Structure 1
């Protein structure tokens, strides 16, 4: 069957998706480290840039403060040295060194290696400062001797290796704490995100393996809500399409057997019939069977199109009573001796409604065909406004429908036992098409007992569905 081959093709295509083996932990670690390195690297770059800018701005202020603070002490030391001969400077500086908490030393100018800026300041008679080593240099007037003051740190000891500066240790500790706190924050953010991604991956894998009933649970992260909703909607759509294909292929296969079997029997009888009247009767039977096959195919295609595509509504405002009368007039020829009347007593004069003039006629004509099959002598079509909805009723004086079967008749290939004959059998698609058309209009189709004694089918949908004004 064509339907089965289409169904198999769809399943084969979907079944080609073979996800890679589970790599959850490795992928989660990789995601965590990649994101952590990105965030941490960006943070470090920004922090170092800010520290560089701040240090550059503060360095000049700090050097100026140190120069002002130490200027008086250095002038006193210089005056003390120049009171004595230059030959006694070494002994004098040693005596002064014992009185200060930082080192004092006299060296030759040529032995110093300073930056260009600090060297120019030193030669100009100003204080030169080595901020990294915390040492000050001062030229003793116009002599080639340089007074070295420092390191100024009280815990500095030139006889042993210097420990890491306190500032550097504070920086290291601060960065370690920042790294740890950032790692915890990134982990707490990445783990739920990964769980949502892993759940979506597993759902997609299950769908790819043909488990179309699988649905993704609600996402923990709101960023994945729309993706989860889209995936579940896609799964539901695929499941419905496949179910529709299976239902159509199975039901059509079953329905085709009867007319095909009758045609085969008629052909066999035709080859053996000698009487012209018998041959004419058999050919008429085959013609009826061909019409039945054509009707089945047309109804099946119409139902499949409405179920599959859900075509977009092309709404227009129409005056309801003339529209109903036009639809009824087009069906009168099928009614034969059955009286078909339109009752406009419950409808306001000039009442307009919004409907799709391509799809809504399917619903009305299918209800009329159904009523013509089962009515004994009379069919009445009426309409009324209930609140903001329009209700269209089709009543017949036939055998009616039992209450327990009234919902079931609107689903495809559902037929009641008393209708399984050649005259009124149908294929159970007409009322299913009615239901789909009304759902498309945001309405519903129902059936109940008719005042005429048979069945009353009611179509109900909103009067206004768009910006069109009545």
Structure 2
């Protein structure tokens, strides 16, 4: 029984997986949301908008430039103001050396290139000829301009209502309308301290009759100058502030949580199967070699589980084979070792020359038997390894078999060994390991020489996509119950057979067949003995 190894795993619950997924999803999306400069999508959209606007307004910039070049430079600012009402967007003429442009932007403008600034609104800028001015074209409205346009109608109606009353009653009129509005409104004198406008802002209000600005991040104040040009309607709105921001954060977190939940639902079966694989692998590593992965065919890691099971089965088979081999080796070593020990003990006390020679002969025989066993074990171990593709090549199989069989024609028992070619056909090319197949054929012929009575026949066929080498003898054959067992290491059906070995010859043949992705088996020979078949795929 293998010893259990204590294993301390750090807790890794499904809740922690979900929380990690939520963090992993939320942080990148939050960064891309709050920091536009880090969002590659915004960059792509900005480049596309730049190319589109330049293509649309290149001609417009050229016409404005030609128009300006017909006038003195000192008239350009006023002429742009006169042109602006004819455009659907604002035109602004500004000096190139203005602080509103960076050094890099100034360099680009001096070279005659367009400058595009995304945002609300987008702005397209270009230098006017070689002058010190640049023309700015605003391709939309600012948020303040949008809000100002939306309030013009409201402010106009309020002004019309105030015209029906003397100025002394305007405060009361505004107070009466206040409950119907969702923002604060009042009437102020333009010079009142409550107006909170600078001199420049008041000048802009007198010029445009309406002015909007943001004194705080969450507040917006709009002013409209009444017809008497002394009084101003003031409207102040505030956004939801912290509560709206909190709702936005909650909505964003919920969206990220839903995305993380979807990923979690998809990953949970994968995590479960990986944990199962981890447990099975740990059990296998602790010595429970019958541990196998049990995964559904629909699992993402089903292929991994099948590969693990195949590997585990191969390792278990290898370990079982090694155990069986060790037991068999220990048994086969016992006999020659016992003979060696007995002969050495007798040599110490024996003085007769003839007896000493006999004991020395027995020692030499035992050493040779041990040497043969060791060599066979080394060969068997060699063919248990995975073969190298470099050892397989195309060979003329008929010529190869003719040469190998000829080595056994002259044998001590005088058995007739015959190679029967398949007819007067051209030599067939097959893929095989020449050295390994030679060893397999030699082992099959040596086995046949031990049991044949008079004749051994070697033949070769290619049928159904399989190459087959067949070795037939006219001996006693192999019983059906022993036909699989004889290919296991150290299996000997008859220890009294002439030249009986250690039972590794046919096991080596079986290993060589596996090298060739084939197999070896035994059936009845037409001559009445046994037919050993060595076959491998022709498309190896």
Give the TM-score taking structure 2 as reference length.
Answer: 0.69
Q: Which residue of 1 aligns with 2:145?
A: 64
Q: Does residue 138 of structure 1 match 2:219? A: no
Give the C-alpha shift of residue 261 in structure 1.
Answer: 1.0
Alpha-carbon deviation of 1:220?
A: 7.6
Write out aligned runs for 1:81-160 (5 A): 89=167, 91-99=169-177, 101-102=180-181, 103-107=184-188, 110-111=193-194, 122=205, 124-125=207-208, 126-130=210-214, 132-133=218-219, 135-139=221-225, 146-151=232-237
- 1:43 equivalent in alignment to 2:25: no
Describe the shift of the 1:39–1:176 C-alpha distance in structure 2 as closer, same or farther (beyond 3 A): closer
Residues 119 and 283 (structure 1 numbering): CA distance in 2 closer, same or farther, change over 3 Å? farther
- Deviation digits for residues 37-56 of structure 1, max 9, x if unmatched? 11122333344557x98996
Name the counterpart of 1:21: 8
Distance, in Å, in 2 between the alignment partners of 1:109 and 1:226 is 82
5+ residue gaps in structure 1? 1-10, 154-161, 466-470
Q: Distance in 1 between matches of 2:222 and 2:333?
A: 107
Instruction: State the secondary structure of the residue aligned to 2:384.
Output: helix
Alignment match, 2:111: none
User: How many Å apart are 1:346 and its aligned residue?
Assistant: 5.2
- The structure-2 alpha-carbon separation of the partners of 1:197 and 1:90, relative to structure 1 and needing over 3 Å to count, comes to farther
User: Residue deviations 1:421-451, cap 9 Å, x none?
Assistant: 3844322211111111112212211101122
Assess, with a 3 A threshold, how the Cα gap between structure 1 residues 231 and 181 changes in structure 2: closer, same or farther.
same
Q: Deviations over 1:183-224 (max 9, x none)?
A: 532431332222122112211211221112212222687553
Matched residue, 2:344: 267
> Using the alignment, how far apart are the partners of 1:270 and 1:291 within structure 2?
19
Q: 1:353 aligns with which of 417, 420, 430?
A: 430
C-alpha contact (below 8 Å) 2:280/2:293 kept by paired residues: yes
Q: TM-score, normalised by structure 1?
A: 0.78
Question: CA RMSD, aligned part only?
Answer: 3.9
1:144-203: CA deviation from partner (whole Å, max 9, x where unpaired): 8642124499xxxxxxxx8977x6686466446525533532431332222122112211
What per-residue deviation string (whole Å, max 9, x for no partner) do you get for residues 379-424 of structure 1? 11111222322221111122211011111111222222xx123844
- For residues 423 and 36 of structure 1, the distance between their equivalents in structure 2, rounded to whole angstroms, comes to 78
Secondary structure of 2:435's aligned partner: coil
SS at match of 2:292: coil
1:464 lines up with 2:450 in the alignment? no
Q: Match of 1:104, SS? A: strand
8 Å CA contact 1:18–1:205 kept in 2: the answer is no
Q: Once structures 1 and 2 are overlaid, which stretch shifts more, 455-464 or 131-140?
A: 131-140
Q: Which residue of 1 aligns with 2:419?
A: 342
For 1:34 and 1:428, the matched residues in 2 are separated by 61
Q: Specify which of 51, 74, 87 is matched with residue 155 of structure 2.
A: 74
Match of 2:401 among 301, 324, 329: 324
Whether the 8 Å CA contact 1:374–1:398 is kept in 2: the answer is yes
Q: Which residue number in structure 2 is paired with residue 210 of structure 1?
A: 287
Number of residues paired by the alignment?
436
Question: Contact 1:444–1:459 at 8 Å: present in 2 too?
Answer: yes
SS at 1:127 equivalent: strand
Instruction: Say if 1:396 and 1:452, in contact at 8 Å, map to a contact too.
Output: yes
1:173-322 superposed matches below 5 A: 174-175=251-252, 177-218=254-295, 223-312=300-389, 314-322=391-399
The answer to whether the 8 Å contact 1:446/1:457 transfers is yes
Q: Which has the higher helix share?
A: 1
Q: Distance in 2 between matches of 1:347 and 1:292?
A: 44
Q: What whole-Å deviation, never above 9, does each CA across 1:99-147 have from its counterpart, x for those lacking one? A: 4623431345654567999888546533215494454223457968642
Distance 1:245 1:347, change over 3 A: farther
Distance 1:75 1:146 in 2: 12
CA distance in 1, matches of 2:241, 2:539: 84
Q: Which moved more, 1:190-199 or 1:140-149?
A: 140-149
Matches of 1:92 and 1:71, distance apart in 2: 19
Equivalent position to 1:453, from 528, 534, 539: 528
Aligned to 1:437: 512
Query: What are the within-5 Å matches in structure 2 for residues 355-374 of structure 1?
Result: 355-374=432-451
Q: After alignment, is 74-83 or 182-191 more displaced? A: 74-83
SS of 1:358's equivalent in the other structure is helix
Contact 2:21 2:264 in 1 (8 A): no
Structure 1 range deviating more: 298-307 or 71-80: 71-80
Distance (Å, rounded) in 2 between the aligned partners of 1:18 and 1:90: 95
